[in-house]
Structure 1
Amino acid sequence: MAVLDIEHLVIDIPGRGDGDPLSLQVKSGQRWGVLGPNGAGKTTLLHTLAGLRAPRRGRVVLNGTPLTHLSRREVARQLAVVFQERQDSFPATVMETVLIGRHPFLSAWQRESAEDIHLAHEALSAVSLTLLEDRLVSTLSGGERQRVSIATALTQQPTIWLADEPTNHLDLHHQVAVMALLNQQADNGAAVFMCLHDLNLAARWCDHLLLLYPDGECCSGPAEAMLVPEALERLYDQKLVVAHVNGAPVFVPG
């Protein structure tokens, strides 16, 4: 079942022509990776899919309903966004921040229930932050703050994950842990759509890929069809050497 339909979408990037209209379906249980060089529009695309930016043309349909017909609360009950960077406007603890994931399900002035708090504790445990729940987010490292963002989205229990560089600031161990967590979300029926810079993470964890070229060209399909040197070398303007480890491709600059 398609949970996210992208129909003839042209994202709005100032100073650039329209490029190729993007049409694809993101289905329950799929793991999509978006690849492309800096400036190709990966973050702009993610923000457009979340309804945070208007497209030039086309539309986004969320679980059968056009995104423009849904309130922000209705969108947030289905879709979570993990931003590449986050700004903290007010001092808050890790637990208080993670509980923001439950706000779409609460009425005005309603306090979090015991179940909401339980979900937040589970999310913190999933990203190994339980011991930091009383710390102010402003005192955390970049990697810890990124894991707080993942935990907040996890507490939201979305059917669609939009993640912009979810492994940003993370060390190798936590990169693998976060990708495994997103993989588990897909196994549980969520759709995962994420921008990645690391080709090898995409090769290991994604079953579908979208390639965004700097001139607005795009192509998409199953990962095995997209992970070919000819397409990737043109994408990044970089020669690549491909090896295979345990049957999976590994890409290094040539």
Structure 2
Amino acid sequence: MTTLATHELVIDIPGRASGSPLGLHVHPGQIWGVLGPNGVGKTTLLHTLAGLRPPRSGQVLLDHKPQDSLRRKQVSRSVGLVFQDRQDGFPATVLETALIGRHPWLSAWQMESADDIALAEQALQALDVGHLRDRLVSTLSGGERQRVAIATLMTQNPDIWLLDEPTNHLDLHHQVAVMNLLTAWAQTGKAVFMCLHDLNLAARWCDHLLLLYPDGEACWGAAETMLVPSALEQLYNQKLETVEVDGAPFFVPRRGS
């Protein structure tokens, strides 16, 4: 399994003079949550880790090798990304979209095999969209599209899963189902690194957290050391009450603050 690390990484946020250099080590089996208010660079960080945009300084490392020294196909076999927003480039069915996940594993003119199709169909079933396999993606709801995007990542089967708001557009049942699925994949050795707006999803499912502050500062570590009310109140500029549910902390914003 591939490990992901950053060495003195500073992401490039327009209009921001500097930021905390990130020295992260994301190991197989870990589930990381990235928390912070709007505009702090969560999406930019994911795109930088995926190799889609260069950092301002520092490096992203895959198995101790600079990511920018590796071939794009090699990176795509190790790292996969679910975007927060997606545009339909051309008409495609749900199954055809899921099969895009197999492209890093195929040669230039190679067609998908029966095994590739079976992987895609299994992923669609796991995300509860198997019955939509022949529908055009453009006809789906936002939540259905989100589940197809995660199924596409599952079909790709990289070692490192980068997800930008994976529960976006999902109803409560499917939020829980997706978080449980990500946990199950982490238990097989995959590393999950995701941006979340829901603090309580992060508290319940993540074992490591990265907090990104508006001034460019950052801190990270094991979830139990990061889930400190004073730090989270500073992060969101919002007073919080903390209760315990099923042995895990649950954070509630105070009214009027």
Q: What TM bracket, shorter-length normalisation? A: over 0.9
AA aligned opposite 1:232: L
* SS at structure 2 position matched to 1:19: coil
Aligned to 1:224: 224
1:60 Cα deviation after fit? 0.3
1:62 Cα deviation after fit? 1.1
Aligned to 1:215: 215
Matches within 5 A, 1:168-179: 168-179=168-179
Normalising by structure 1, report the TM-score: 0.99
AA aligned opposite 2:174: H
Aligned to 1:252: 252
Aligned to 1:121: 121
Aligned counterparts of 2:20 and 2:127: Cα–Cα separation in 1: 38
Aligned to 2:86: 86
Aligned to 1:77: 77
Normalising by structure 2, report the TM-score: 0.97
Aligned to 2:3: 3
Aligned counterparts of 2:138 and 2:131: Cα–Cα separation in 1: 16
AA aligned opposite 1:77: R
Aligned counterparts of 1:181 and 1:247: Cα–Cα separation in 2: 21
Structure 1 segments (4+ residues) deviating >2 Å: none
Aligned counterparts of 2:17 and 2:204: Cα–Cα separation in 1: 33
Aligned counterparts of 1:96 and 1:141: Cα–Cα separation in 2: 17
> Is 2:199 the partner of 1:206?
no
1:17 Cα deviation after fit? 1.4
**Conserved? CA contact 1:244–1:250, under 8 Å:** yes
1:109 Cα deviation after fit? 1.5
Matched length = 254
AA aligned opposite 1:191: A
Aligned counterparts of 1:99 and 1:117: Cα–Cα separation in 2: 7
**Conserved? CA contact 1:6–1:60, under 8 Å:** yes
Aligned to 2:111: 111
Query: 1:24-50: CA deviations, max 9, x gaps?
Result: 100000000000000011000000000
Q: What fraction of aligned residue pairs are identical, expressed as a percent? A: 70
Aligned counterparts of 2:149 and 2:155: Cα–Cα separation in 1: 10
1:2 Cα deviation after fit? 6.8
Query: 1:39-81: CA deviations, max 9, x gaps?
Result: 0110000000001111010000012321101122111111110
**Conserved? CA contact 1:2–1:25, under 8 Å:** no
Aligned to 1:140: 140
Aligned to 1:12: 12
AA aligned opposite 2:180: A
Matches within 5 A, 1:45-64: 45-64=45-64
Residue segments in structure 1 that go unaligned for 5+ positions in a row: none
Aligned counterparts of 1:72 and 1:50: Cα–Cα separation in 2: 10
> Is 2:184 the partner of 1:190?
no
Aligned counterparts of 2:230 and 2:36: Cα–Cα separation in 1: 14
Aligned counterparts of 1:163 and 1:100: Cα–Cα separation in 2: 17
**Conserved? CA contact 1:212–1:235, under 8 Å:** yes
* SS at structure 1 position matched to 2:8: strand
Aligned counterparts of 2:107 and 2:20: Cα–Cα separation in 1: 41
1:121 Cα deviation after fit? 0.8
* SS at structure 2 position matched to 1:84: coil
Aligned counterparts of 1:137 and 1:47: Cα–Cα separation in 2: 23
Aligned counterparts of 1:246 and 1:133: Cα–Cα separation in 2: 37
